[in-house]
Chains A and B, each alone.
Chain A
Amino acid sequence: MNIFVDMFITFFKLGLVSFGGGYAMIPLIQKEVENHHWLSMSQFTDMIAVSAMAPGPIATNTATILGYKIAGLPGALDACLAVSLPSLLLILIIGQLFIKYQNHPIVKAAFYGLRPTIVGIIAYAAIKFAISNGIIGGSNFIDVKSSIILVAAFIVLIRTKLHPAYLIILSGIVGIILF
């Protein structure tokens, strides 16, 4: 299939089901990247780093930079459009309805089950990224330096409101010193 059509369908589909915003979309995108053999996992991890550093929504950022990597500027436009279009359509079609029915018992019940599932999927993504970047489960089982950075960053992220961009820049400097 044409790469642009393929990318468009893929990102449109992801845009339609990514409940929970940006980070919830990452595992979905990751799966597609793997299935389509678009990039290696470490390349994809670098793209997420750039997306998290840049302003704006993580979801559109990741889609855009991925599209750019795969097929240049037209690819970026294609992916960005495809991932944003479902938002527009959903808001136009069900936005008003949703205001009315957001407290309906069935809607509430669905979200009651949906939210823990999303948390599970994101947690799974974190484990998966740790493995495929050789932080855990690699030749040494645990890569000590990377694991220390991971744990330290995690603590900073959940305890403080420091913006991820600073953390990414800082860890880049630490990386240059350590590796």
Chain B
Amino acid sequence: MEKKKINYKLMFELFMTFFKISPITFGGGFAMIPIMEEELVNKKKWIGKEEIVDVFAVSQSVPGAIAVNSATFVGYQIGGIPGALASLLGIVIPTFGIIIVLGALLASFQHNIHVQAALQGIRPVVVALIASAAYKMSKVSLVDKICFTLCAVCILVLLLFKSLNLILVILLGAFIGVIVVKVKMLNQVVSQKKVRGEKL
């Protein structure tokens, strides 16, 4: 990776690049990926095609908004810590402004009967949005029966014990993953030994 000399012009350019990308990417992180790739790899040539794949992979694994993570990471790769900061501000500021305006509008009109009715129609869509996020993620995450079971148990436990700490549940999920993979590997070793034993 080629690290450019840190200068204000580059910082400003990074800021402006993300400032422009941010308001046109509806739908959050995943929608932003192809646009970022086009802008950063093809147009600005700041970062290579393979490097950006790594950036996106890490951005999806690290906690936090994928778009914010990607912008920050690209900024860091190109311009170090100042670059990361400039990119973060660039990606956050425009949508911050837009959301404040929308929030203020909602606050001033929410008692209007038509707005009330509209919101009543919109609420089921929000549920559908969340459900579809779960569905789409399940397509890539539930790769086998164990994953399916883990997911089903997780839903059931959360419905039964309402006061569970979600952060603990997430960490427990990761821990179970490590255990399951370990057990699987042990089983494989044992069965391989058995196979070999029978042949001998």
Interface residues of A, Cβ cutoff 8 Å to B? 13, 15-28, 31, 42, 45-61, 64-65, 68-69, 73, 76, 80, 83-84, 86-88, 90-92, 94-95, 98-99, 102, 105-106, 108-127, 129-130, 133, 135, 146-147, 149-151, 153-154, 157-158, 163-165, 167-168, 171-176, 178-179
Contact = CB atoms under 8 A, between A and B. Distances in A.
B125 A56 contact: no
B63 A135 contact: no
Interface residues of B, number: 96
B57 interface: yes
Nearest to A95: B73
A52 B29 CA distance: 12
Contacts of A174: 121
A54 to B, nearest CB: 5
B147 A87 contact: no
B200 interface: no
The 10 closest A-B pairs by CB, nearest first: A175-B121, A113-B177, A117-B173, A56-B95, A120-B154, A115-B141, A57-B65, A23-B133, A109-B181, A153-B128
Nearest to B107: A69
A130 to B, nearest CB: 5
12 contacts: A22-B66, A45-B123, A57-B68, A64-B96, A84-B64, A88-B85, A91-B59, A109-B181, A116-B142, A119-B154, A120-B153, A158-B135
Contacts, number: 363
A15 B178 contact: no
Interface stretch (B7-15, B39-47, B162-170, B191-199): B162-170
A95 to B, nearest CB: 5
Interface of B: 22-29, 54, 57-69, 72-73, 76, 81, 84-85, 88, 91-92, 94-96, 98-100, 102-104, 106-107, 110, 114, 116-138, 140-142, 147-148, 150-155, 158-159, 166-167, 169-182
